[in-house]
Copies of this chain bind each other. A is one copy, B any other.
Amino acid sequence: MIGASSIRKEGRAKVLGTACYTDDKFMPDALHGVTVRSQVPRGILRGIHFGEGIPWADFTVVTAADIPGKNLVASVVHDQPFLVGIGEEITHAEQPVVLLAHPDRFLAEKARAAVQLEVEERPAILDIQASLDLEQVIYGTHNLLKEIRIQKGDPATVWAQAAHVFEGEYHTGAQEQMYLEPNAMVAMVERAGEETRVTVWGSLQCPYYVHSALKQLFGLPEDKVRVVAMEMGGAFGGKEDYPSVNGGHAALLAWKSGRPVKLIYDREEDLACTTKRHPSRTRLKTAFDAEGHLLAVEADFVLDGGAYATMSPVVLSRGALHVAGVYRCPHVKVHARAVATNTPPPGAFRGFGAPQSLFALERHLDICARKLGLDAVDLRRKNFLRMGDTMATGQVIREDLDLGGIMDRALEEVGYRAKRKAFAASNQVAGPIKRGVGFAVFMHGCGFTGGGETYLASVAGVEGLADGTVSVLAASTEMGQGKNTVFSQIVAEALKLPFEMVDVAQVDTDRVPNSGPTVASRSTMMVGRILEDAAIGFKQSLVQQGFLREPYTADTFRAAVQKAVATLGSVKCYGQYHRPPNITWDDATYQGDAYPTFSWACYAAEVAVDLDTYEVKVEDFIAVQEVGRVVNPMLAEGQIEGGVAQGIGWGLWEEVTTQRGRMLNNQMTNYIIPTSADLPRIKVVFLENAHPAGPGGAKGIGELPMDGPAPALLNALENALGALRLDEVPMTPERLLARCEEVSHG
């Protein structure tokens, strides 16, 4: 079962159009909600005026003053209000101030435009540098949402004696997740006597995050809040933290109106207001000995965290933990900061900080190789981590890690040596097209940090149904990544049942235990492993209670489950994560095992640049990775292909243009993502190396492919064009033109 390309459990319903997305939920009598936003990046809200020509009496209107519980979104830090109240500070230009609901969604839109906010404006901070310079203090005392330091050895002792020291600064831009289905919520509040019960159905990754947020918003106990995940049209992190905000908004409108409320964003609102990838600036200083051995890395890693903390502390953490990459280095010092700006807060996005810091490092190493007069391949090979080596946090590599083998496979697949030679010759010939080939080697930590998984203590279960089939109970959501299918495969494998006999229960906090959020490349590896235990316990319960005899067939198993359910009413078995005893993590010192393990990869890209238009065409792309065992090769390939596409978009085209802290290009016509027409062949190669912590040996896979494309592409660009200041993504044609002009003028 594990290793089979089983067909998606929800595929048929999606293809036939019968899958029920949030906006498909039929709610008789439902109102349509809209959100009135601040429009100025910083100021004090002084008044709210309801303009003429709108039948306000027919509207449900919610302001901060209506909130029954706490007006703060439960997240890593409780700093973001659901709605800004009068006299309170507006901190970004898309901040929700008033919620409106009406049976007529067109009238609701008209009403939204008729609400005028009276704001006393204040000077805003709109970029990293202004925030670091404390031009204004907009958050805490130093505009810091989070600060992390990691130290191993002391780079300061190295600089003077090292044969070579190189410095560089690298920038990455914001990026939109661009899921097919914008954020959407449906809420209903039931009242019976003193009792209030809030239910939210939505497009959301983490039902228990929304559950926590609603409990705090309404001041309700655990069992009075219910969150249900509907079929989801993609997420990529964009529905990790934001659903706590819009879920709360929908529920507030339902609570005030007493009727069901649909709060469905259109594309423009979604692009303008919801979370994006954090822009970053990374300064790197590295020392090498005469042979090219890496002696020291010092990194100053800064993220633009926007107006509130949201996920920034953890995004910063992952970025900082990946900054030294896949290299052995005795002296590492990392200073990482997420700074506040008056912009809509970014949040989770596939990769979660790692693409930013890995881009900087892999780009930097290519530049170092050039300056050292070494081949980029040789420089990396000299410095790769191997089993027994220690990473920056003191984590020891305990796997048979063969980065050289991974790199060699990628270079072989792309024809690296031959192409380097051929392009060197062909690029000499006159004509606008210059070609290059480049690569990047990188890793991605699977799951949360040791401490994070221990804190979550995730639970998942297996239930026998009256028809004799088996259902998976977990809060992990299906967002297109294939969770339904992979979980079914894992449980079917553990129970030695056909795939068809296992399905996944709808994610509903009334029914499924908290298996943790669906993020951080953790579902297959961390939740899947718990499900293995639960499945084996489930089978053992049947055996020990006399319902099942081993060996069994699918038919005798089905009969046993039927009999057990008929006799006992219900048969369930649960497993829970418990920390492996050799995984330690100290959040205070950032020492220990940052992640249970890593997935490892080398991606190689071939590009052609047209020096007439400065357009870059990706002509070939190779993705070689070691991800433990592959549970479902078809889905895994799809994950890699999608991630590579997203990585290419981030590296070359996807640019968020802003004005006074508001996104200007919040349409799919001017925010450019790659379509299949823009993409090359993507060849995906899995090198399997079963890992004991994952089910059947699987590691995480979801985020990894986001990390490699950008540095591989810019390394290929440098190969095509020679030394240029290729230190930023997206490397749009405009930016590339400017960089080329620097050389010709400078």
CA distance A692 to B697 in the complex (A): 15
Q: Do the beta carbons of A581 and B696 come within 8 Å of each other?
A: yes
Residue A76 interfacial (CB < 8 Å): no
| Interface assignment of A213: CB less than 8 Å from any CB of chain B | no
- Which residues of chain A in 271-301 are interfacial with respect to chain B, using CB atoms and an 8 Å cutoff? none
Whether A692 and B534, one on each chain, are in contact in the complex, defined by CB atoms closer than 8 angstroms, is no
B691 near A581: Cβ-Cβ < 8 Å? yes
Q: A534-B537, A692-B581 are in contact. Are A574 and B544 (CB under 8 A)?
A: yes
Q: Is A572 an interface residue (CB 8 A)?
A: yes
Q: Does A452 contact B (CB under 8 A)?
A: no
Q: Which of B386, B494, B539 contacts A388 (CB 8 A)?
A: B386
**Interface 0/1 of A461-487, CB less than 8 Å to B:** 100000000000000000000000000
Question: Residue of B at shortest CB range from A691?
Answer: B582
The reply to whether B398 and A578 contact each other, CB–CB distance below 8 Å, is no
Contact between A573 and B573 (Cβ–Cβ < 8 Å)?
yes
- Report the separation of the CA atoms of residues A75 and B513 in the bound assembly, to the nearest whole angstrom: 45
Query: Counting CB contacts under 8 A, is A665 at the interface?
Result: no
Q: Which residues of B have CB within 8 Å of A544?
A: 459, 461, 513, 572, 574
The residues of B that contact A690 with a CB separation of less than 8 Å are 581-582
- Bound-state Cα–Cα, A396 to B398, Å: 10
Asked if A629 is at the interface of the complex by the 8 Å CB criterion, the answer is yes
Residues of B within 8 A of A583 (CB): 692
Q: What separation, in Å, do the CA atoms of A629 and B532 have in the docked complex?
A: 25
Closest residue of chain B to A550, judged by CB? Answer: B457
CB A511 to nearest CB in B, in angstroms, measures 10
Asked whether, in the complex, the Cβ of A572 is within 8 Å of the Cβ of B541, the reply is yes
Return the CB mask of A570-599 against B: 1 if under 8 Å, else 0. 001111101011110000000000000000
Of all chain B residues, the one with the shortest Cβ separation from A581 is B697
A574 touches B693 (CB 8 A): no
Number of interface residues of A (CB under 8 A): 42
A581 partner, pick from B533, B576, B581, B629, beta carbons under 8 A: B629
The listed residue with most B CB atoms (<10 A of its CB), out of A386, A513, A582, A628, is: A582
Question: Min CB distance, A648 to chain B, in Å?
Answer: 33
Residue A67 is within 8 A (CB to CB) of chain B in the complex: no
Nearest chain B CB to A515 CB, angstrom units:
11
**Is there contact, CB below 8 Å, between A537 and B575?**
yes
List residues of chain B with CB within 8 A of the CB of A574. 537, 540-541, 543-544
- Bound-state CA distance A397–B578 (Å) is 24
Q: Are A533 and B537 in contact (CB under 8 A)?
A: yes
Q: Is A156 an interface residue (CB 8 A)?
A: no
A134 at the interface (CB under 8 A from B): no
Beta-carbon nearest neighbor of A575 in chain B: B537
Tell me if A400 counts as interface (CB < 8 A to partner B). Answer: yes
Q: Can you list, as one digit per residue, whether each of A378-407 has a CB less than 8 Å from chain B (1) or not (0)?
A: 000000001110000000101110000000
Q: Does A682 contact B (CB under 8 A)?
A: no
Q: In the complex, what distance in Å separates the CA atom of A540 from the CA atom of B460?
A: 9
A694 contacts partner chain B, Cβ-Cβ < 8 Å: yes
Task: Please indicate the chain B residues that have their CB under 8 angstroms from the CB of A220 in the complex.
Answer: none
Copies of this protein, total = 2
Known: A398-B398, A399-B398. A536 touches B629 (CB 8 A): no
A498 shortest CB reach to chain B, Å: 19
Q: Which residues of B contact A459 (CB under 8 A)?
A: 540, 543-544
Min CB–CB distance A374 → chain B (angstroms): 26
Cross-chain contact B540 with A578 (CB below 8 angstroms): no
Q: How far is the CA of A61 from the CA of B292 in the complex (A)?
A: 85
A138 to chain B, nearest CB (A): 38
**Bound state CA distance, A574 and B532, in angstroms?**
13
List chain B residues, Cβ under 8 A from A388.
Answer: 386-388, 400
Specify which chain B residues have a CB less than 8 angstroms from the CB of A573 in the assembled complex. 537, 541, 573
Contact with B along A483-504 (1 / 0, CB 8 A): 0000000000010000000000
Q: Which residues of B contact A582 (CB under 8 A)?
A: 689-692, 697
A residues 86-119 with Cβ under 8 Å of B?
none
CB-CB nearest in chain B for A545: B572
- A399, A543, A573, A689: most-surrounded residue (chain B CB, <10 A): A573
Q: Which residue of B lies closest to A461 (CB)?
A: B544
Minimum Cβ distance to chain B for residue A375 (Å): 26
Chain B min CB distance to A36 (Å) = 41
Query: A672 to nearest B CB, angstroms?
Result: 42
Residue of B nearest to A460 (CB): B540
Closest partner residue, chain B, to A401 (CB atom): B388
A252 to chain B, nearest CB (A): 29
- Residues on B with C-beta less than 8 A from A513 are 540, 544
Q: Report how far A156 CA is from B396 CA in the complex, Å.
A: 37
**Closest Cβ–Cβ distance, residue A2 to chain B (whole Å):** 9
| Min CB–CB distance A126 → chain B (angstroms) | 44
CB of A463, distance to nearest CB on chain B (Å): 10
Residues of A667-699 whose CB lies within 8 A of B: 689-694, 696-697
> Which of A544, A581, A628, A689 has the largest number of chain B CB atoms within 10 A?
A581
A533–B535 Cα distance when bound, in Å, is 12
* Nearest chain B CB to A455 CB, angstrom units: 13
Which residues of A (506-558) have their CB < 8 Å from a CB of B?
513, 532-534, 536-537, 539-541, 543-545
Q: Decide: B461 and A540 in contact? CB cutoff 8 A.
A: yes
How long is the Cα–Cα vector from A399 to B696 in the complex, in angstroms?
21
Q: Which residues of B contact A628 (CB under 8 A)?
A: 581
Cα–Cα distance between A583 and B691 once the two chains are bound (Å): 9
- Closest residue to A577 on the B side, CB-wise? B536
Neighbouring B residues of A540 by C-beta, 8 Å: 459, 461, 513, 574-576
The CA of A459 and the CA of B540, in the complex, are separated in Å by 8
Separation of A513 and B537 alpha carbons in the complex (Å): 13
How many Å lie between the Cα of A398 and that of B399 in the bound state?
A: 7
Q: How far is the CA of A532 from the CA of B575 in the complex (A)?
A: 11
9 CB-based A-B contacts, threshold 8 Å: A386-B388, A388-B400, A398-B400, A459-B540, A461-B544, A513-B540, A537-B574, A537-B575, A583-B692
Closest 8 CB pairs of A and B: A581-B697, A540-B574, A581-B690, A580-B692, A387-B388, A536-B576, A537-B537, A582-B690
